[in-house]
Amino acid sequence: MPSFFKKKSSSYNKKTGQEKKKEYSSSPLSAVLEENIEYIKTQTGNSTDIVIRSFKHSPRFNTKSAIVYLKGLTDSQTVQELLIEPLMKSNPAESDPISMEDMIEGYLPLGNMEQIKDWNALFPALMSGHTIIFVDGYSVAISSATEGGEKRAVEEPRTQRAIRGSKEGFTESIETNISLVRRIIQNPSLWTETMTIGRVTKTKVTIMYLKGIARDDIIEELRKRLEKIDIDGVLESGFLEQYIEDQSISAFPTLYHSERPDAVAGNLLEGRFALFVNGTPFVLLGPVVFVQFFQSIEDYTERFYISTALRFLRVLVFFISLIGPATYIAATTFHQEMIPTQLLIAIAAQRESVPFPSFVEALIMEVTFEILREAGIRMPEAIGSAISIVGALVIGQAAVQAGVVSPAMVIIVAITAISSFATPSFSIAISARLLRFLFMISAATFGFFGMILGFIILVVHLCSLRSFGVPYMSPLAPFIPADLNDTFVRGPLWADRKRPAFISGSNNVRQSESTGRPQPEQSSEMVTDQEGDQQ
Amino acid sequence: MKRRIGIFLMVCLQLLLLTGCWSKKELNDLALVSAVGLDLNKQGKYVGTFQFVNPGNVTGSFQGGGGGQGNAVSVYSATGDNIDEISRRMATKVSRNLYYAHANLVVISDKLAKKKGVLPILDAFDRDATFRNTATVVIAHDAKAADLIKTLTAIDKLPANKVIKLLRFSERVWGASLNIMMIDVIKDLTDDGKQPLISGFNLKGSSSTGEKVSNIMQSTPQAAPVVDGLALFKHGKLVGWIDGKKARGAVWTLNKIKKTEININKKGRKEAIALEVIRQNTSISTSVKNRTAQLNVRVETEGNIGETKVPVNLKDPHVIADLEKGFEKQVKSEIKAAIKEAQAKKTDIFGFGDAVHRSQPETWKRISKNWDEDYFAKANVKVKVDVFVRRTGLRNNSFLSGAK
């Protein structure tokens, strides 16, 4: 709600950029091997997981060399077979010692290799799992890409399951994640840009977009916003999300996150960008609109009637989780005339023995439920079932029998709880979860009048939101009729000719006009009849 | 900036805290009025009898086994010069706020309706913000309104519900009664071409047994409200009753019959053939010429043969045509009797005046003042009935034709 205050403090992040690059001395490498080794040791505090293996290659000339890598981050087999072995066994009879260039060109059968002359470049390479080769007498080191080590395999996504659709989910490795999307969109226009964010963590962050479909100004804006970030660590994409959002103090998410490669691919095709962060399976997507949070990937694979019905259901579910208890409070404390007589009598009978006003009753139940829910998440899996038993007995039965709450209230809380789980996007469900309490307060204060006030504020707020400049409520407000085909309704795919107007720029034609509605060619006779005629 | 947010939040907080749940009413603080009964006492004051719901006793048992042990309703009464006073005086007896939004029944005693009329009563209900003007109005026929309100009923635990459902059901199935809402009464009272017609209710059995739980513990409750006739009103005052077939004739004329059953005599047996009416349409029209009015009623109805007590050949179209004529005669006589009764009481409960208003607006302006007395009461009545036998049930000829 505080978006009433448009004047933003502009002092935020002004002095970024200057001191950013100034870490580790920018001195060049020494030509003496021992000095280099010593320098690495002092800089890393002699860390035990740094492996420094010194040896002599071209023994005839007594050339001392050393390779340095991090245990666990590198693929030890690669280091063994493709670096150490060729170097040690190279025993040419030629008169000249092997030069650095020879090594790269002739001896080491590894793909990604480069020469490093500066400590500034050396340490990041080392820390990301590269193996560094020093040769005595050269002030240049070879950095070879030998990243490896333990990784989680590609599994079915945990949070966004789909009945029909790919079973692949992102992992914690950024390379794997990018490759998963590349496998779906096999097109050179799929561009990526990688940068490191985090003064200490040096986290790899990759922007991915489809050149020509995504709007260049949005990508430029994203780049700018990412460059401004100067924090010590990025542990999850949620960290970045909070720094690059348009409206950072809203209850509603203005970036979407997904752990499904197919969802990311679909969004890229609509002109959105994807932001991969190393170390998390959640990929950020933007710019997003409100209706997107009610969509699920399998909407597009089912018949469109069914998908539309399901989307309506999700909107209903969102509203229930938002105003379910508030409606109950308003109806039972202010607008008893709205409840059918028989139902009112039934509710009144239950309320007879309850010592609290309905608002307090609702609050107790909602808070209890939130506690149970939070406990359920934190609990070790083995005790998880205990929570459900306690929950069912405590809220469901004992509280009712003790006359602390009415059964109707339990029903309301239960429906609300189920509804908040049925919302497809967790981030929008969690906003509803919080706003529900505000609605309860406004309902307890002014009844439906208060709820309507709350709604007006909510709608105004939603309409004021932007996601990378794209109006959050579009295509509903501003109203774009052409885009309505994929909002709360999901029209047939063949009718969905254009990409969303604000998100993809001028290149917004998704399918050619001739595609149209698929139908068999006009024929007056049935196929079987024709066959009969021929005989 | 921070200060402005602070001030804004403070204002918001004040809005919530200072108003303090404005006009909040918890359910436990409400006395749900389910029915209102109005009588006239000997001093000429109104006696209001209010039926309150005991929610715990209405619904099934779920907490502490309260269900069904006590009375579903409690009844209190108070006396006053007007309805508002009664309502206020009720506070000396009832511990909660009176809540009228679910009062669906108003019972007015015939004595009160005769002496003071319904005009002074209905304004209070109409004016009140919570009272619904869709509440059903009935007249206590030869009974006190209070007694009807007090009587406990079986099956439908809420007596008010029982009365309303009974009325609705009998209107739909038998057709000799009308479920009249308060808004209908008010509409008729303000319409110079139609007078109100309200259903009557009688109390079978004595009121003293009716108000005890023991009444509904028996398989045949000793006291129970029953539908009883239609009350004719004129200028807001009760002027007479019609019941039985005449009442049904009135309902026919009003085009309110949904389903009913007509009997005719045949082959010397009384009420030998029964017709189940399944649909009907009645239209009325009036023409005024030379200071005399002509009332026309046209009924088109369809039905199935419901019962034959004598053997008749139902395969024969001539027989069917003959039966149809008989039914027509029966309906015609009922309608005529009803209109005659209304003419005798000089009250146009059917809306013939409205028909004049529609067809001859200029004439109506002249004659509306003394329509009831000078025109309606002396009018000629012409009734045309068209009965069509649609089906004969599962059988054509009855087994009676083959019985030895």
pLDDT tens digits, one per residue of A385-414: 777 787 777 777 888 888 888 888 989 998
DSSP assignment string, A334-396: T-GGGS-HHHHHHHHHHHTT--S-HHHHHHHHHHHHHHHHHHHHHS-HHHHHHHHHHHIIIII
Residues of A with CB under 8 A from a CB of B: 2, 4-5, 7, 9, 332-334, 336-337, 341, 344-354, 357-359, 400-401, 403, 407, 441-442, 444-447
Q: CB–CB of B21 and A345 under 8 A?
A: no
Helix (H) or strand (E) holding A414: helix A407-422
pLDDT at A3: 41
Q: What is the pTM of this model?
A: 0.84
Contacts of B25 in chain A (CB under 8 A): 333-334, 336
Task: Check whether residue B261 and residue B238 sit in a common domain.
Answer: no
Give average pLDDT by consecutive 10-residue segment, chain B, 404 residues.
Answer: 88 78 84 93 92 82 51 91 91 90 93 91 89 93 91 87 91 89 93 91 86 83 89 92 91 92 88 91 92 93 91 89 93 94 92 92 90 91 94 85 76
Task: Check whether residue B154 and residue B257 sit in a common domain.
Answer: no
> Given B27, B53, B58, which is nearest A332 (Cβ)?
B27
Q: CB–CB of A445 and B8 under 8 A?
A: no
Q: Is residue B2 part of a domain?
A: no
Q: CB–CB of B1 and A353 under 8 A?
A: no
Q: CB–CB of A441 and B16 under 8 A?
A: yes
Domain finish residue from B242, B266, B301: B242
Of the two residues B225 and A92, the one the predictor is more confident about is: B225
Taking alpha carbons only, the member of B299, B345, B307 closest to residue B323 is B307
Helix (H) or strand (E) holding B33: strand B30-40
Contacts of B8 in chain A (CB under 8 A): 2, 4
- CA-nearest residue of chain A to B131? A337
Q: CB–CB of A358 and B26 under 8 A?
A: yes
> For A412-461, how does the pLDDT look when each residue is reduced to its tens digit (9 = 90+)?
998 998 998 888 888 888 899 899 999 999 999 889 999 999 999 999 99
Rounded Cα distance between B71 and A402, Å, is 24
Task: Check whether residue B122 and residue B198 sit in a common domain.
Answer: yes
Q: CB–CB of A444 and B1 under 8 A?
A: no
Q: Is residue B17 part of a domain?
A: no
Task: Check whether residue B147 and residue B278 sit in a common domain.
Answer: no
CA distances from A388 to A391, A429, A500, B237 (A): 5, 21, 43, 66
Q: Is residue B7 part of a domain?
A: no
Q: Parallel, antiparallel, or unpaired for β B105-109 and B136-140?
A: parallel
pLDDT at A144: 87
Task: Check whether residue B50 and residue B118 sit in a common domain.
Answer: yes
Rounded Cα distance between A344 and B25, Å, is 14
- CA-nearest residue of chain A to B129? A337
pLDDT level of residue A296 (50, 70, 90 thresholds): confident
Contacts of A352 in chain B (CB under 8 A): 28, 55-56
Mean pLDDT over the full length of chain A: 84
Test the A interface: residue of B11, B22, B26, B51 with most A CBs within 10 Å:
B26
On the CB side of B397, CA atoms within 13 Å amount to 12
Task: Check whether residue B190 and residue B126 sit in a common domain.
Answer: yes
Rounded Cα distance between A10 and A1, Å, is 20
pLDDT at A10: 44
Question: What angle separates helix A358-378 from helix A426-446, to the nearest 10 degrees?
Answer: 160
Helical residues (DSSP H) of A65-193, grouped into ranges: 76-78, 85-89, 100-102, 119-127, 174-184
Task: Check whether residue B310 and residue B345 sit in a common domain.
Answer: yes
Q: CB–CB of A359 and B21 under 8 A?
A: yes
Q: In chain B, how many domains are there?
A: 2
Q: Is residue B1 part of a domain?
A: no
Rounded Cα distance between A364 and A372, Å, is 12
What is the b/e burial string over B63-90, where b = at least 16 CB atoms within 10 angstroms of the residue's CB?
Answer: beebbeeebbbbbbbbebeebebbbebb
Domain finish residue from B197, B223, B242: B242
Percent of chain A clearing pLDDT 90 (strictly above): 36
Contacts of A4 in chain B (CB under 8 A): 8
CB-based burial of residue A350 (10 Å sphere; 0-12 exposed, 13-18 middle, 19+ buried)? buried
Taking alpha carbons only, the member of A50, A463, A13, A413 closest to residue A244 is A13
Domain extent at residue B386: 244-404
Task: Check whether residue B251 and residue B235 sit in a common domain.
Answer: no
Test the A interface: residue of B8, B17, B57, B63 with most A CBs within 10 Å:
B63
Q: CB–CB of A353 and B99 under 8 A?
A: no
Rounded Cα distance between B241 and A461, Å, is 64
pLDDT mean over A173-184? 93
Test the B interface: residue of A8, A341, A342, A451 with most B CBs within 10 Å:
A341
Rounded Cα distance between B263 and B270, Å, is 8
- Mean pLDDT is lowest, of A342-346, A422-426, A517-521, for A517-521
> For A4-51, how does the pLDDT look when each residue is reduced to its tens digit (9 = 90+)?
444 444 444 444 444 444 444 567 888 888 888 888 888 888 888 888
Q: CB–CB of A358 and B99 under 8 A?
A: no
What's the farthest any 2 CA atoms get from each other in chain A? 106
Task: Check whether residue B360 and residue B285 sit in a common domain.
Answer: yes
Residues of B with CB under 8 A from a CB of A: 1, 4-5, 8, 15-16, 19-28, 30, 32, 34, 53, 55-56, 58-59, 62-64, 66, 99, 101-102, 104, 130, 132, 158, 161
* CB of B57 closer than 8 Å to CB of B32: no
Sheet harboring B380-391: ordered strands across? B260-266, B269-289, B292-308, B380-391
Q: CB–CB of A350 and B63 under 8 A?
A: yes
Nearest C-alpha of chain B: how many angstroms from A478? 28
Q: CB–CB of A344 and B102 under 8 A?
A: yes
Q: CB–CB of A353 and B101 under 8 A?
A: no
> Given B1, B59, B104, which is nearest A9 (Cβ)?
B1
Q: CB–CB of B32 and A2 under 8 A?
A: no
pLDDT at A59: 60
Q: CB–CB of B32 and A359 under 8 A?
A: no
Q: CB–CB of A334 and B5 under 8 A?
A: no
Q: Is residue B14 part of a domain?
A: no
Domain finish residue from B199, B224, B242: B242
> Given B5, B21, B27, which is nearest A348 (Cβ)?
B27
Backbone φ/ψ region at B242: left (φ over 0), alpha (ψ -120 to 50), beta? beta
Task: Check whether residue B231 and residue B133 sit in a common domain.
Answer: yes
- CA-nearest residue of chain A to B31? A348
Rounded Cα distance between B212 and B208, Å, is 7
pLDDT at B252: 92
pLDDT at B11: 87
- CA-nearest residue of chain A to B67? A349
Task: Check whether residue B42 and residue B133 sit in a common domain.
Answer: yes
> For A264-290, how does the pLDDT look when each residue is reduced to its tens digit (9 = 90+)?
999 999 999 999 999 999 999 989 999
Rounded Cα distance between B175 and B260, Å, is 6
Whether the predicted pLDDT of A527 surpasses 80:
no
Task: Check whether residue B202 and residue B221 sit in a common domain.
Answer: yes
pLDDT at B66: 44
Q: What six digits make up the tokens of A159? A: 């949070």
pLDDT mean over A468-484? 89
Percent of chain A clearing pLDDT 70 (strictly above): 89
Contacts of B59 in chain A (CB under 8 A): 345-346, 349-350
Nearest C-alpha of chain A: how many angstroms from B76? 19
pLDDT level of residue A2 (50, 70, 90 thresholds): very low
Instruction: Tell me the CATH number at B281.
Output: 3.30.300.210
Size of interface A-B (CB pairs under 8 A): 93
pLDDT level of residue A226 (50, 70, 90 thresholds): very high
Amino acid at B191: D
Nearest C-alpha of chain B: how many angstroms from A402? 9
Nearest C-alpha of chain A: how many angstroms from B151? 20
